[in-house]
Amino acid sequence: MSISQCLRPFFSALLLLPALVAGLHAARAEAADVLVAIASSGADAKSRVAGPMLREGRSFVADGDAAADDLGSGTALAEIVADSCAGLAVRILPLRIASAKAPDPAPEALAAAVDAAVEAGADVLLVACVSGRRNAAVAAALDRALKKGLLVLSPAGSSPDGFDLFPASHPGVLSVAGVEPAPASSPQALPWRLTAFANASARTDVLAPALDRARDLFGSGVAAARAAAFAAAALAQRSDVPREKRREWLLGLGDGAVAGRDAAGKLPRVWDPAALKAALARDAARGRFVVESVIPETQRSVKVRVRNVSAAAANGTLRLYSALLREPVTAAIPETAPGAAATLTVEIGADAAMTRCVEIAGAREDDPPADVARFETPVRAWAGAVSLAGVEVLPPDEGARTVRVRVFVANASGETAEGVRILVGLGAAERTRTVAAAAGAVTTAEIDVDIPAPGASGAALPLLVELGSGAEAAARGGNVPAGAGALRLEPPPVRK
């Protein structure tokens, strides 16, 4: 064998080296992309908006593949994400769980899609369907995904008087409800308010714009897609955030300036992709605090919980504004470790229920506020020391004959309130429970109520929750689906 024959393989390998290096760089670039998985009806690979960002997806229905969307729902969601992430290292993984022949996703298909998102290394998973019943197989798949650090979002539903829906109600899943621009006459010039169809409750974690004019869509499915886009765009610009810290960090980025919020004191944050640049600029300041809850402790004091979501220990200043005071009341935030929370009791000298705004001061006098939480209505209109703070109706398990109602009781006094009686249900389904309401806090009570015998379309379950003698009551109701309770796409099919 000649020397030239011996060296030929070597030189051939050298010629292939640039291609191998380029392939390696491409693989690394794709691996570094933020991957958003969308469990819906697939996504049309020919979409001019979403097509360039699509990865090869997977189908869990018998007909067609993930690149052929005959319902349009998945393509619309992918386009909403693509619109907000243009120019960023974000890719979209379509997971097809519904089609024109099977428009209602099967629980097994959804569970398999969740597992597929984990296998693909997704960073964000949008589960774009809702159900009035909890499915054990889907719940187990969600638990596996959450354990791996996957950020899972799901729409809360688009029925304002309905039940808390699955999988948005599953622990660890971010429940997303819709907001719309608030009118200019809104107090404190609030930019957002809950939509008329928002199924917001004590379980809601995130709020997002629910109107998509480009595709003439609205609802909590649109809001969930916007929230997924917000998360993906933020992660693409801050790859240094550890996977286990992403949820907490992202929740801290949201805007607290929303009209209407959970009565139990929690502040759902608005994730608006259009405001992400400003949110990231605020986050760059050392010692970023966010307001997590505002609860009146007495008639003239408010308990405010803040969290340090920056990477360094920090202190700060809190300003509290009341409709009854000309100047804000200030309080010092003590040295707080990264990721830790601090609870402050702020004496107002006025009616605590009239609190309208809580603001975290900037690092310097000329800095914009690090966080602002404004309220269209007072923090809470207390009816005496003990009041009904909120009601949540959890989706029952498949085949269950009871539904669990979670009741939040607020005690504004400085002493534990013993023997607080809660009544839930109507007629034969009426149930009562007596609890001790902790001082200056919100106490949670869970009560199981029988589900009436279902008709052809389900069982109507009106609920009336009363506290004490009925001086305070909250009505909540809806339809518990018959049988297993089918999953349905959110938003529903958008093209015939």
Decide yes or no: CATH 1.20.120 for domain 286-369.
no
Distances (CA, A) of 267 to 207, 251, 288: 10, 10, 17
Residues 425, 416: Cα–Cα separation, whole Å: 26
DSSP string, 116-135: HHHHTT-SEEEE-EEBSSB-
What distance, in Å, lies between the first and last C-alpha atoms of the chain? Answer: 69
216: enclosing H helix or E strand: none
Quote the DSSP letter at residue 260. Answer: -
Distances (CA, A) of 132 to 8, 9, 400, 485: 68, 64, 12, 6
pLDDT band at 27 (very low <50, low <70, confident <90, very high): very low
Cβ 445 vs Cβ 422: under 8 Å: yes
DSSP string, 414-479: SS-EEEEEEEESSGGG-EEEEEEEPTTEEEEEEEEEEPPPP-SS-EE--EEEEETTTTEEEEE--E
Residues 457, 481: Cα–Cα separation, whole Å: 7
Per-residue pLDDT, averaged over 30-39, amounts to 83
pLDDT at 427 over 70: no
Coil/strand/helix, residue 58: strand
- pTM of the predicted protein model: 0.80
Per-residue pLDDT, averaged over 277-302, amounts to 78
Question: Tokens standing for 228?
Answer: 């997924």
Per-residue pLDDT, averaged over 186-211, amounts to 78
Mean model confidence pLDDT for the chain: 80
60 residue type, one letter? F
Question: Tokens standing for 52?
Answer: 């360039």
The pLDDT of residue 496: 43
Residues 384, 412: Cα–Cα separation, whole Å: 8
Coil/strand/helix, residue 155: strand
pLDDT at 205 over 80: yes
Stronger pLDDT, 126 or 202, i.e. the higher one: 126
Stronger pLDDT, 347 or 202, i.e. the higher one: 347
The pLDDT of residue 49: 96
What's the chain's length in residues?
496
Per-residue pLDDT, averaged over 27-56, amounts to 86
Among 45-54, 140-149, 293-302, the range scoring the smallest mean pLDDT is 293-302
pLDDT at 23 over 50: no
Distances (CA, A) of 96 to 192, 221, 246, 288, 306: 33, 16, 26, 39, 40
Residues 394, 166: Cα–Cα separation, whole Å: 8
Residues 277, 421: Cα–Cα separation, whole Å: 48
Burial of 172 (0-12, 13-18, 19+ CB in 10 A): middle
Residues 284, 219: Cα–Cα separation, whole Å: 32
Per-residue pLDDT, averaged over 406-415, amounts to 78
Cis peptide before 107 (omega within 30 of 0): no
Largest CA distance in the chain: 103
Residues carrying CATH 2.60.40.10, the chain: 386-480
pLDDT digit string, tens, across residues 458-467: 556 666 777 7
| Architecture in CATH of 386-480 | Sandwich (2.60)
The pLDDT of residue 253: 83
**Strand duo 459-460 + 479-480: pairing:** antiparallel
Residues 320, 39: Cα–Cα separation, whole Å: 42
Residues 89, 236: Cα–Cα separation, whole Å: 6
Question: Tokens standing for 310?
Answer: 């920056």
**Range with the largest mean pLDDT of 18-27, 79-88, 314-323:** 79-88
Quote the DSSP letter at residue 488. Answer: E
The pLDDT of residue 106: 94
Cβ 490 vs Cβ 128: under 8 Å: yes
Q: What is the CA radius of gyration of the chain?
A: 25
Percent of the chain residues past pLDDT 70, beyond the cut: 77
Hey, how many other C-beta atoms are within 10 angstroms of the C-beta on 249? 19
Distances (CA, A) of 265 to 296, 417, 440: 9, 19, 12
The pLDDT of residue 39: 98
pLDDT digit string, tens, across residues 141-178: 999 999 999 999 999 887 654 567 899 999 999 999 99
| Architecture in CATH of 25-275 | 3-Layer(aba) Sandwich (3.40)
110: left (phi over 0), alpha (psi -120 to 50) or beta: alpha
Cβ 396 vs Cβ 482: under 8 Å: no
**Range with the largest mean pLDDT of 75-79, 321-325, 365-369:** 75-79
Residues 89, 42: Cα–Cα separation, whole Å: 21
3-state helix, strand, coil in the chain (%, to 5): 25, 35, 40
Quote the DSSP letter at residue 337. Answer: -
414 residue type, one letter? G
Stronger pLDDT, 34 or 160, i.e. the higher one: 34
